[in-house]
A and B are shown apart, each in its own frame.
Chain A
Amino acid sequence: MNNSELQKMAKSVRKTVFEFKTRDGIGHLHSSLSPVDILVSLFYDDKTDFNHETDIVMFGKAHGSPSIYPILADTGYFPKDELEKYCRPGGILRLHSDWTIPGCHFVGGSLGNGIGYASGLAQAQPDKNIYIIMGDAELYEGSVWESLMYISHHNLKNLRIIIDRNGLGTIGETEKMLKLEPLVDKFQSFIGDVAEIDGHNYDSLRGVFSSRVSEDSGDGHLLKSKSPQVVIAKTTKGKGVSYMEGKWKYHTIVPSSEEDIKIGLENLS
């Protein structure tokens, strides 16, 4: 897909997420909109390294993981009508993704644990690439930094850590709560390969996700990197919905008024 097609796909994913989230008003819509371009880049851009049949993408910030549901339905992991049953009795899709859902891994809902789990997956399976999408406010969990020390020491080069850097926690900006910056420096003190990019720009995403495939690797997709990689993807929480973008109060609010839903759907159409 070219950039225009990728953007169109992302809009479609966001619209689907918006629809199933606002149907019953359950979950964290705001957090599910910011990582969509990252996922679309991985799954639909032929030039990025990710291969969903052989690699693993998982969420540390599982409250944003419903963003992957339309993509997994589209790639055949489960029927599309499951999207209509999101968080409803009888449906398989939950507020936090977990290992019972085809195409999903681990268990969602407790921050700071996915990265350690991902390090175990990566260490035990050096022939598999592991991608983990974490929230920036998840970085306050001390266990994250325990894991980073480990990942660095063992040079788990088949591990990619993607930070959905939308700049917001639950009740405000991360930099007002507890400063995370300078985040690049912090990560670089553990792992040399750190990139900070626009997480909604497909050229930028392609740049960090496509540069590391070994051309002569046996199965054609193994990362040629010499170290693990950290991608700090600067994103906008609530991306695509005009009145939600960057507004912290929407972390726990799903639009419910007729007017808000109408505007949201117009924005994403």
Chain B
Amino acid sequence: MTQRDTFISELFEIAKEDKDVILISVDMGASALDRWREELPEQFIWTGISEQHSINLAAGLSAAGKKVYLYFMAAWSARCFEQIRYSCSMANNPITILSNGVALGYAPAGPAHETNEDIAYMRSLLNIEIDCPASSTHVKELVKYSYENQKLRYIRLERKYDSRFDKISTPNGLGYSLVKGGLFGNPMRKEEPKIAVISYGYMLGRCLDVQDKFLNNNIEVSLYNMSKIKPSPLVKIKETFSDYNKIVTVEEQTLSGGFGSAVLEGMSDNNVQKPLLRIGLPERYIFENGDRDYHLDNNGLSVDSIYDKVFEFRNE
């Protein structure tokens, strides 16, 4: 099941018991939506392709006490950025935005359907929480969390995710967590440089493969999942990262103000001064045919390419 359908299905169970839960779809389909439309028609609003109105409507419903979830394609978050800022953030009206198909998730649809910068612009908003779940387990946690803690929230749902993470614990309590450690237990490696790779969402899968490649070559690398972008989970992190010599961030975003920037800010704010390498998409829109993996492979985010960059950085 996709992250989107997992979220909507889980929310459906809550909505059956709470008539104030409202789901808005601009004109986006989802198999899990069909059940809402049939069984909870009073709690489903189909607004049509009108993102600006939809956000304003959601804000008004929220102001009147409804618990509003709005589902659209991630790329449209830019179109209604003003309404999110004005009617929700500024006016203090909490709604949950289910932003589906983040980053290159809609490839080969082209750059208009892709969000290579949404972390940068969304995290600039005030009063917002941003989550990037990597697994269906985390998505389910977010359903409960978002319902119990009404807040302006932007949940970046992966159109396709790496199901290996359903079996790997990705707790959201701190907003970041160790996915898999390195070889630090080995006293023979005490003097070797230690690298922490931090990523999120779909890129975690590639980073897991990168880490395996390093470990197979007896090189120390740990992998962290930072699923919460805002508020920054990177508080009291000195202890976590003090053993590392260098830090690498890997994101499916362009680098201006994106995920790596958020990590850098967190490190700086906590006086963690480590060399940090940001790996991400090039500063360009990709007008080429190919699916998501093809584009990642050809834009510096293949497993080998990430490995080589981290390896070079490690040895600098």
A and B found bound together: yes
A107 CA / B48 CA spacing, docked (Å): 25
Q: Could you tell me if A113 and B57 are in contact, using CB atoms closer than 8 angstroms?
A: no
List B contacts of A121 (CB < 8 A). 60-61, 63-64
Q: Chain B contacts of A109 at CB under 8 A?
A: 86
- The residue in chain B whose Cβ has the minimal distance to the Cβ of A121 is B60
Query: In the complex, what residue of chain A is closest to B83 when comparing beta carbons?
Result: A113
The answer, among B56, B65, B66, B92, for a CB contact under 8 Å with A117, is B56
Q: Are A124 and B61 in contact (CB under 8 A)?
A: yes
Alpha-carbon gap, A12 to B218, bound state (A): 83
* A binding-site residues for B, Cβ under 8 Å: 98-99, 105-107, 109-110, 112-125, 142-143, 146-147, 149-150
Please name the residue on chain A nearest to B64 by beta carbon.
A124
A–B Cβ pairs within 8 angstroms, 11 of them: A106-B87, A106-B91, A107-B91, A116-B55, A117-B63, A120-B60, A124-B66, A143-B50, A143-B53, A146-B52, A147-B57
Partner of A124, one of B55, B65, B87, B91: B65
**B58 interface contact, C-beta 8 A:** yes
B83 CB contacts on chain A under 8 angstroms: 113, 116, 143
Contact A119 B57, CB 8 Å, known A113-B86, A146-B50: yes
Q: Are A116 and B91 in contact (CB under 8 A)?
A: no
Q: Which residues 273-300 of B sit at the A interface, judged by CB distance below 8 A?
A: none
Q: Is B192 an interface residue (CB 8 A)?
A: no
Q: Kindly state whether residue B90 has any CB partner on chain A within 8 Å.
A: yes
Asked if residues B48 and A117 are in contact (CB atoms below 8 Å), the reply is no
Asked if B56 contacts A125 (CB within 8 A), the reply is no
**8 closest A-B pairs (Cβ-Cβ)?**
A120-B60, A116-B56, A124-B64, A146-B53, A146-B50, A143-B52, A120-B61, A117-B60
- Mostly helix, strand, loop or mixed at chain A's interface? helix
Contact indicator per residue, chain B 53-97, by CB within 8 Å of chain A (1) or not (0): 111111111111110000000000000001100110011100000
Docked CA distance A117–B83 (Å): 10
Interface of B is mostly: helix
Are A120 and B92 in contact, CB atoms less than 8 angstroms apart? no
In the complex, the answer to whether A107 meets B52 with C-beta atoms within 8 Å is no
Q: Nearest Cβ in chain A — how far from B20, in angstroms?
A: 9
- A149: which of B50, B64, B82, B92 is its contact (CB, 8 Å)? B50
Query: Is the C-beta of B47 less than 8 angstroms from some C-beta in chain A?
Result: yes
Contact A110 B63 (CB under 8 A): no
**Is A117 touching B50 in the complex (CB atoms < 8 A)?**
no
CA distance A96 to B111 in the complex (A): 37
Least CB distance from B171 to A in Å reads: 35
For A125, give its contact among B64, B87, B90 (CB under 8 Å).
B64
* Residue numbers in B under 8 Å from A123 (CB-CB): 57, 60-61
How would residues 90 to 113 of chain B score, 1 for a CB under 8 Å from any chain A CB and 0 otherwise? 111000000000000000000000
Give the distance in Å from the alpha carbon of A123 to the alpha carbon of B66 in the complex.
Answer: 10
Q: Which residue of A lies closest to B61 (CB)?
A: A120
Instruction: Report the minimum CB–CB distance from B292 to chain A (whole Å).
Output: 31
Minimum distance in angstroms from B230 CB to a CB of chain A: 21
Which chain A positions have C-beta within 8 A of B57? 116-117, 119-120, 123, 147, 150
Q: Report B195 CB to chain A, min CB distance, Å.
A: 46
Picked from B50, B58, B82, the residue with its CB within 8 Å of the CB of A120 is B58
In the complex the two chains form, what is the Cα distance from A150 to B54 in whole Å? 9
